[in-house]
Structure formats: structure tokens, C-alpha cells
Structure 1
Amino acid sequence: MRAVWLGQALKKIREEAKLTTRQVGYHVGKDASTISRMESGDVSVPEAILSGIIEVCGVTDSHRISDLTIIRRDAAHGGWWDGYRRDVASTLMDRAWLESIATSIQSYETMVLPGLLQLPTYAEALMRNGATSASDAEIRRWVDMRMQRQIILSRYRPVKFTSIIDEQLLYRSIGRPDVMGDQLGFLLEIGQRPNVDIWVMPSTVCAGVTSSFEVFTLTEPYPQVGYVSTPAGDLCVEGETLDDLNREYDRLKEHSLAPERSQMLIKAAKDKM
């Protein structure tokens, strides 16, 4: 994702300069096909090459140069999630990176409680139900990564996390009864944090939205992006589709219970466990 964004930005400044990939390549000592692959995000962009492209394209705006430099740096360097590269899909690696640079995340959940709010026991029960052929070692790695992702909620300058969850998820038993009871207790606890808001969509409301989705507001220079869950996997969206998601999220909040009332509903569900 980072490499793709950098490539898109490089293509944009080249086209604004009315240059071909061959002309840019000649200036930086690369052939046209290599420049094309850089613009598509297929190959990395060394710092010296980026400087040369900026020069030949005549980019002088300091903010724009800074943005390109930041994106190139992020594309070239990984994070803690790289240690799980052999264990999880690349889309989950991208998600972990997005979470790490997000200032706020809004989620709507229809199937399971959000991963950022799951206890290890709940996460493990989910994974064992969904991946019956996975080994104990694989399950442990997946759970460990999910717990690592939750650091963003307690770090210095934590992410503002807002989640709308379907009321039915509070009563959907995952694993042993004590697992769900502990999980609901954790929701009550973490929902007290100033950076975490949990909104419950009453089961009496017809939301009209069947897919879970998330909206990430990121630090500069990155755009706001969304993730929509589909049967084929997570779909990353931007632009007009993301505008639709933002409007949909506002509508869903209007039909959900505010955090204070949601806490009461969660407590009632826990008391029934």
C-alpha cells in the first residue's frame, strides 16, 4: 500500500511535468520500464532516485517534497508487524501499518467484536472456530499479533477508536461461557478510556448494512482510507466510495446508543452470562 501511494504520487508529478517515463529514467539512470514499475509500486524507490525524479519534474514546493520523502521512508522501512510476515496475509500487514499511523479509527462490526477490543481468549476461540486445521503454534502467532495491534490504544497519543457494534454480538457465544463473560467485562473496562467509544446498535433497528467496515484517518501526508469486509477479503477504498462510507457511518451512529447507554446494555448482557 505504501509503495503504491508513493508510485501514484511519482506518476502525478511526472505527468504534471509533461515528461515520459523514458525522459525521467534518462535523468536518474534508469530505463523506462523501471520507472513504470516504481510508479506501480512494484519496486522500491531509493532516496537518490527520488531526489532525481523530484529535480527533473521541477517540484519545488517544500511541503510536497517533504510528503514524498515521508512516503518513501515509510515504504522502505517496516515495523513490528514484519516479524509476522510469514504468518499472516499481506492485507493484515497493511492494516497493522494503517493502525500505527492513524489518528482515529471508526469501525462498524456485524459479525464479531472488533479485533482492537478483543481479549486473547476471545480472539483464540474465534480463530479456532474459523481455522480448524491450524496448528496451536499458528493460532498463538495470530493471537499474539492481534494483541500487538492493540498497543495503539494505550500508547503516548493513543488512537481515537470509535466502534459501532451490533447488539447481537453481545449475546453471540464465542468459546466457553467464561470467555464471553470476561470479554464483555473488558468492553466495560476499556470503554471507560477517553479515547475509546463503543456504540451499540440495538437489535430492534434495521441498519440496512450487512458488511463490516472501518474508516482510518491518518497522519499527514496520507489520505483517509476505508476497509470494507467482503467474502473475498478486505477491500480498501478511497475517494467517492469513502465519502459514502463516512455518510453511512454517521447514519449508523444516529441509530445507535451513545456510549453511556451502550455501557448499560453491555453490563446487562454480562449479567446474563
Structure 2
Amino acid sequence: MPAQPSRAPRGVRHVRPLSGRAPTAQRMIFGETLRKHREALGLTEKEVARGIGGCSASKISRLESGEHDFKEKDVLCLLDVYQVVDPAERTRLLELSQQANEKGWWEAWRDVAPKELQTYVSLEDIAARIRSYESGQLLGLLQIPDYTRALVKANSLEPGVRTAERIMELRAIRAQRFLNESAAQLICVVDEVTLSRGYGTNPIMRRQIEHLIELAGHERISFRLAPSARLNLPVQIGTTTVFDFAADQLPAIVYVERCNGGLYLQDRQEVDAYERGFDRLMVNSLGSAACLQKLKDYCQKYR
């Protein structure tokens, strides 16, 4: 079992990977360490910026949110301001900052992975628990390659064969890594619409649903189903993923899909609101056994 997710309080903060490097999980973790040092001394970002000179409060904010590389000079200046004097601790933190700057395995797919997705994949890699609801398609971790290819082709204005294949490769590797290397729990609310209005051909949808049935028996994966015929389902949270992490890594982070790109939320009140929304949807959806039966029924439909 993974360690209990962190429930530490958090100030108002959004992660917006819109400029510079995408804020990956490792950079966010080191940035969180810097933030804790700053807050332990009761310093504001502006006061820290003044303390090290030649720096802005916005840069301190970007460092803490993982949206900026950690240069050794900057880290040493910050450690001085934060009164970290023990040589062993300074060495440890410098090594962590260097590790945070390392490129992720997904860098080879940057041509088809926008910054929001790079952040998503990095969080997916280290999460202790992932809670997800997708309203228009199946979660990427659950997709078979043929489904992914058909989905990309159907939703691209000018679909390129190479682009579709690259996206398919990346999703397949993510799924393999989750099944073979991760210890995270996945709780997924499947919307029945994604089963009834599928992608590809009947044989592709049948293989996709057979894959879901196989995954339903995995010890770290649990499904619920939001049925199309049920009234008053609280689905207005839209496509949402909640990432929970082991204690002392990161507070919970919510990813919300938008038509013009995703948004990452870390504000405690906003995260709580989405968690409550997800829990309401989960409770009002069909349980694991009923969901499995629905999947079997759809297998027959796509014969």
C-alpha cells in the first residue's frame, strides 16, 4: 500500500505551465521544499527577492511552483537567506535541485506532449493515488493503441499519421509504466457515454472494453460507472483528475480539462471542492460489480 496522501494546508496558488519549462513533479517537490523554508521564517516572496538581490518576487514564485530551472547560484543564495548552514544539508539540497532539473523520460515525445501534458505525466509517475473522471473519452491510462489512434484521427482537424502514432506510443508507454512500475491506486469513474459513443470500429471498441474488463481485476485499479440513464448525476465537475501524493511530498493537485488547455489547481479550498465533487459523482455512480456487468453488456453490443 502507498503511504497516506498528504493533507497539509496550502495557500492560494495555481500552477500555470504556460511559459518556460513545464513544472514537473520533481521540480515542484523541490520548490515545495524551498517554500517551506521561506514560510518557516515568516518571509514573503518579495522579502526573499530583496534578500538575495537582482531577483523578483515572481521568480521566487516560479521557483517554488517548479516553473523555473534551479541554478546552483540561486539555490545557494536561497539557502543563505533561509539560514541553512549545515554543510551536509546544503549538499543534500543542492543534489535535490540538480535532480529536479533532470529531463524526464517523456522528453523524447515533446513534439506531441504540450507543457500541460508533460506536467500531467510527471505527476502520474509519482502519485500515490489517482482519481479520475473523463467525460468525452476513456482515460489515457486505460486506452488500447487502436482506440487512441481512432480518437486522435476523429478529433484532429488535420490528422497526421505520424502525430497519431507518436501520441499512441506515448499513451501506451504511460499505461505500461503504470501497470509495471507504479504503486499508485487508480480510482476511475467511467462515463457510459464513452462506451456507447466510442471510437474506431466495433471490433476496436470490443477489444477496448475487453481490456477494461481485464483491468477491472487489477488490485490497484477500481472502476465505477456514471450511467447515461440516471437522472441528476453530478457530472458538472467535467474532466477532472485528482493527484494525491505520499506524505511530505506534495499536497493534492487537481487537473481540470478546459477547451483551451488544462489548469492545475493547488489552492486548498479549490482542491477540496473538486474532491467533494468527485466523491459525490463516485457515490452516485454504479459500483464495481454493476460497472463490470455493464462492460460485459457493451462487449456483446460491439460483436
Q: Which moved more, 1:38-47 or 1:108-117?
A: 38-47
CA contact (8 A) 1:38 1:44 kept: no
Matched, 1:123 2:148: yes
- Equivalent in the alignment of 2:130: 105
User: What is the SS of the residue equivalent to 2:262?
Assistant: strand
The whole-number CA distance in structure 1 between the counterparts of 2:124 and 2:79 is: 29
- Relative to 1, partners in 2 of residues 1:17 and 1:200: Cα closer, same or farther, differing over 3 Å? closer
What does residue range 1-273 of structure 1 map to in structure 2 within 5 Å? 1-2=23-24, 3=27, 6=30, 10=34, 13-14=37-38, 16=41, 18=43, 19-25=47-53, 31-33=54-56, 37-41=59-63, 43-47=68-72, 49-59=74-84, 72-205=97-230, 206-210=232-236, 211-219=238-246, 220-238=248-266, 239-273=268-302
Q: Deviations over 1:21-79 (max 9, x none)?
A: 24224xxxxx335x853542464223454244223322479xx9899668634530122
Query: Where in structure 1 are there 5+ consecutive unaligned residues?
Result: 26-30
The whole-number CA distance in structure 2 between the counterparts of 1:232 and 1:162 is: 26
The whole-number CA distance in structure 2 between the counterparts of 1:175 and 1:23 is: 59
The whole-number CA distance in structure 1 between the counterparts of 2:91 and 2:213 is: 42
The code of the aligned residue for 2:55 comes to A
The whole-number CA distance in structure 2 between the counterparts of 1:203 and 1:113 is: 15
Q: Sequence identity of aligned pairs in percent? A: 26
Under a length normalisation based on structure 2, what TM-score does the superposition of the two structures give?
Answer: 0.78
The whole-number CA distance in structure 1 between the counterparts of 2:142 and 2:123 is: 17
The code of the aligned residue for 2:260 comes to A
- Relative to 1, partners in 2 of residues 1:108 and 1:21: Cα closer, same or farther, differing over 3 Å? same
Alignment: residue pair count: 266
The whole-number CA distance in structure 1 between the counterparts of 2:297 and 2:175 is: 26
The whole-number CA distance in structure 1 between the counterparts of 2:198 and 2:35 is: 50
User: What is the SS of the residue equivalent to 1:173?
Assistant: coil
Under a length normalisation based on structure 1, what TM-score does the superposition of the two structures give?
Answer: 0.86
The code of the aligned residue for 1:55 comes to D
The whole-number CA distance in structure 2 between the counterparts of 1:66 and 1:182 is: 52
The code of the aligned residue for 1:91 comes to E
